[in-house]
Amino acid sequence: MRPALSVILLTTLLGAGQGLFLAIFTHQTHALLGVLSPQGAKDLYGPAAAVALGVLVAGLVASFFHLGRPERAWRSAAKWRTSWLSREVIVLPAFMGAVFLYGAIHLTGFNPVLLRLSGGAEIDASIAVGAGGSVLAFALFICTAMIYACLKFLREWHSPLTVANYILLGIASGFTLAAVLSARLSPHEAPYFAGWALVFTALGAVSRGASLWRNARLRPVSTLQTAIGVRHPAIRQISQGFTAGSFNTREFFHGQGQSLVRSVRWLFPLFAFAIPAVLFAIYLGSGSVMALAAALVAQMAGLMAERWFFFAEANHPQNLYYQAVA
């Protein structure tokens, strides 16, 4: 499939925004449970939510460059009963609204207590909005991933690993971004976020490695023989049938040589997982903020490359004909 830059930006930025929101709300939940100090990151939640919302808006803007008629985008929400894309279109603004409310509560300080538990713990508005936003964040992960995982004829995508990868890679990049923001706004809490970023980066590496291993062992269901119903063993395609390009040749094939695809296959795990993991370890051992910043840059570059490879790896059955001699 053709890796469109707008879709690469959309999926990568949305994942980072969702992951950042989940990171700061996880911290707040741990503070509520007494695992962390409730005052430790009080200066982080509001600005981090604003950054998460900015990243989500950037991803949404990028998506419009993939639409032929952006003014008709709202119509896609009408097919929510059958389309994962339609469900994504509905869940995304709902999640962005929750992030906005969460950030506004912390930035304005208007955070009324809604419920007092028997143990004395208080459930305030930020907890209620954060819990709802977390549910929407996971719903958005599932909607985005299922747009690809539900396509049975693209076997590289048709796997539960696609959903797992979208969730784990998004959360890993979100915790990395939270660690960098925390190093600036709440330095004492940065090791918490860096530690979890290391954990989710490792889990993402295992999950993505499993999908690479699985996809490398897929064998084509269709061949030139089965496509035309001829069992002769020496069928050779010598013409594409036309001289100019078409929608089929542009949208269903990445248009790059196999050497580039193989190079990206080895490079993205290095930048998305291995280098950030080493930099997280350096930060946790030395406290170097530069190591955290470098981890964020390396991981985002690696995840962009990962998403390019994700699209390029999917081999549409129509390429048996259109790309065999293209």
Which strand (E) or helix (H) includes residue 22? helix 5-32
Tens-place pLDDT, residues 28-37 = 999 988 888 8
Q: Is the pTM of this model over 0.75?
A: yes
Predicted pLDDT of residue 277: 97
Do residues 123 and 117 touch, judged by C-beta distance below 8 A? yes
Predicted pLDDT of residue 77: 86
Cα(107)–Cα(248) distance, integer angstroms: 50
* 3-class secondary-structure state, position 102: helix
Cα(321)–Cα(10) distance, integer angstroms: 30
The amino acid occupying position 294 is A
Tens-place pLDDT, residues 113-148 = 888 877 777 889 999 999 999 999 999 999 999 999
Q: What is the mean pLDDT of residues 258-274?
A: 95
Do residues 14 and 99 touch, judged by C-beta distance below 8 A? no
Cα(196)–Cα(115) distance, integer angstroms: 30
CA 282 to chain centre: 25
- Residue listed under structure tokens 């991933």: 145
Predicted pLDDT of residue 257: 86
The amino acid occupying position 321 is Y
Q: What is the DSSP string of 52-111?
A: HHHHHHHHHHHHHTT-SSGGGGGGGGGGTTT-HHHHHHHHHHHHHHHHHHHHHHHHH---
Predicted pLDDT of residue 140: 98
Tens-place pLDDT, residues 293-320 = 999 999 999 999 999 999 999 988 888 7
